[in-house]
Amino acid sequence: MTKYIVRRLLQAIPVVFLISVVCFFLMLLAPGGPQAQFNQNRFVTQDQVNAWLQHWCLVRNPGPLDMLKEYGGWLGVWNCHAGSLLSDQNLPNFLPGFLGGGDNGMLHGDWGISIYLNQPVADVILGRLPVTMLLMTTAWIIWLTLALLLGVMAAVKRYSIFDQIVTFFSYTFYSLPTFWLGLMLIYIFAVSLHWFPSQLIQSPRISPGPFASSVWWTAFWTNPGKYGWDVAMHLVLPVTTLVAVSVAGDSRFVRSAMLESLNQDYVRTARAKGLGERRVIFRHAFRNALLPIITNGALEVAFLFSGAIVTETIFSLQGMGYLFIQGLQAHDYFLLMGIVFIGAILVVVFNLVADVLYAVADPRIRYD
């Protein structure tokens, strides 16, 4: 199993590499360039723009070779300040620092600097990670519980009123645009009813500092109830938005996986043995229906990450999705690359988690 996991991770390297190439060149090939943000600014001279570009190791209107160099700089193969493939120690730049390689680029753990925020990308992302993690984890748990509960019940009580209600709601919610649902929830529960806040992860009035920063944690431990409750209230609408659409789709999925399982011969065998319905359903049918659900549940994490873009934008949550939109608006190459990279890692890891869990749950599957 360990061998399998290592092999899968090694196989993922070229794919992640390719996606970084695609994404980087997509941005470089676009007309305008990062200097476009100064186009409207009368106070910035051309020389200043050039100096600015040089500072970031970028080139105005890059040719193919310039693009390769820029990408090489991001990756850590190209020593852009020396303009060479060799590090300052005259050794190949891609080598680790202690072997005389360079110190720039992803290979050396340097995610670059956010042009827009003028901070290291890694720091920016780390600062925004807690909000996204909290949002996604909460949504994931609620999503899983609801989808399983509704799906299994609907399958077991197939064609009943309950099943039809679940079917109706899942069709409706599945077709609603997530962001529009968010807007409507804001209108109903925040603007009209004033039940829940519609913006940010905590109220500015009580906020001791950025969410999950060390200042925040210190304050939190003095009064967990107060700060925890505040964050929880702020999470209600975003999580509802994020969960509603996913649950709609996945309760259908669970239902059909469960129905498929209930129709299998071994379920009939279990009944023929004289087992009780509960045992037939939950031990024999559900255990097998779980197999596709596990895969789906792990893959859902990547989907929730996309959903975070939508919800964080609408609810102004200072997480990675919101950061991504800000980076897009500012054409912030390195920040965008950093977030896409995280997305790629999430996909790789959870695909692997799905496969490993599948092997654990299904004795027929052996990886070696």
Partner 1 sequence: MTSRIELPLGVEASVQSTGPGPERSDDVEVALKSLGQWQLAWKRFLRHRMALVGLAVFSAIALIAIIGPIVAPYNPIDIPGAKEQGGDPPTLQHIFGTDDAGRDVFTNIINGAHISLAVGLFSTLIAGVIGVIVGALAGAAGGFTDNVLMRIVDVTFAVPLLFLILVAAVFFGQGSVISLILVFGLLQWGLIARLVRAQFLSLRETDFVEAARAVGVSNLRITFRHILPNALGPVIVVMTLLMASNIVLEAFVSFLNFGIAATEPTWGNALSNSQGAMGDGNWWWAFFPGMCIALTVISINFIGDGLHDALDPRARL
Partner 2 sequence: MSTVVDLEGVSPITEGRAVGSPPPPDVLLDVRGLKTHFHVMDGTVPAVDGVDFQLKRGETLGLVGESGCGKSVTSLTIMRLIDIPPGEIVAGEIWFDGQEILSLPMAEMRRIRGSDMSMIFQEPMTSLNPVFTVGDQIAEAVKAHRHVSKKEARNRAVEMLTAVGIPSPERRVKQYPHELSGGMRQRIMIAMALSCDPKLIIADEPTTALDVTIQAQILELIKSMQERTGAALLLITHDLAVVAETVQRMAVMYAGKIVETGTAQEVLLNPKHPYTQGLITSIPSNVPRGQRLNVIRGTVPNPFRMPRGCRFEPRCPFAFEPCQEFDPPLLTTDRDRRAACWLLYPPSELPRPGATTPDALAPAAPVARERVNKQ
| Amino acid at site 241 | T
**Measuring CA to CA, which residue among 187, 194, 170, 345 is closest to residue 252?**
170
Q: Which does 168 bind (CB under 5 to 8 A by kind): partner 2, partner 1, none?
A: none
- The yes or no reply on residue 268 touching partner 2 (CB under 8 A) is yes
Report if residue 195 touches partner 1, rule: CB under 8 A. no
Q: Coil, strand, or helix at residue 118?
A: coil
* Binding residue for partner 2, selected from 124, 148, 156, 347, defined by CB under 8 A: 156
Minimum Å gap between C-beta 306 and partner 1 is 4
Rule CB under 8 A: choose which of 335, 343, 354, 355 binds partner 1.
343
Shortest distance, position 131 Cβ to partner 1, whole Å: 17
Residue 227 or residue 341: which is nearer to partner 1 going by CB?
341
One symbol per residue from 283 to 322: x for binding partner 2 (CB under 8 A), - otherwise; what is it? -x--xx----------------------------------
Which of partner 1, partner 2, none is residue 177 near (CB under 5 to 8 Å by kind)? partner 1
Report whether 258 contacts 286 (CB < 8 A): yes
* CB distance 67 to 302 below 8 Å: no
Distances from the Cα of 57 to the Cα of 41, 83, 124, 127, 172, angstroms: 22, 9, 20, 25, 50
Q: Which stretch binds partner 2 (CB under 8 A): 21-29, 89-97, 277-285, 344-352?
A: 277-285
How many other CB atoms sit within 10 Å of the CB of residue 143? 26
Q: Minimum distance from CB of 268 to partner 1 (Å)?
A: 7
Q: What's the alpha-carbon Rg for the chain, to the nearest Å?
A: 25
DSSP 24-90: HHHHHHSSS-GGGGGTT-TT--HHHHHHHHHHTT--SS--HHHHHHHHHHHHTSSBTTTTBSB-TTS
Q: Take residue 88 and report the two structure tokens written for it.
A: 């300052």
One residue of 172, 213, 223, 269 binding partner 1 per CB under 8 A: 172
Q: Which does 23 bind (CB under 5 to 8 A by kind): partner 1, partner 2, none?
A: partner 1
- 276 interacts with, out of partner 1, partner 2, none, CB within 5 to 8 A per kind: partner 2
Alpha-carbon gap, residue 347 to 353, rounded angstroms:
10
Report how many residues bind partner 1 under the rule CB under 8 A: 54
Which residue among 268, 273, 279, 283 contacts partner 1 (CB under 8 A)? 268
Q: What is the nearest approach in angstroms of partner 1 to the Cβ of residue 168?
A: 10
Site for partner 1 in 8-67 (CB under 8 A): 12, 14-16, 18-19, 22-23, 26-27, 29-32
Kindly tell me the sign of the dihedral angle through the C-alpha atoms of 24, 30, 33, 36.
negative
- Out of 118, 192, 214, 222, point to the residue binding partner 1 (CB under 8 A): 192
336 binds, among partner 1, partner 2, none (CB under 5 to 8 A by kind): partner 1
Q: How far is the CB of 161 from partner 2 (least distance, A)?
A: 10
User: Per the structure block, which two tokens stand in for 218?
Assistant: 């210190």
The contact set with partner 2 (CB under 8 A) reads: 156-160, 262, 264-266, 268-278, 280-281, 284, 287-288, 361-364
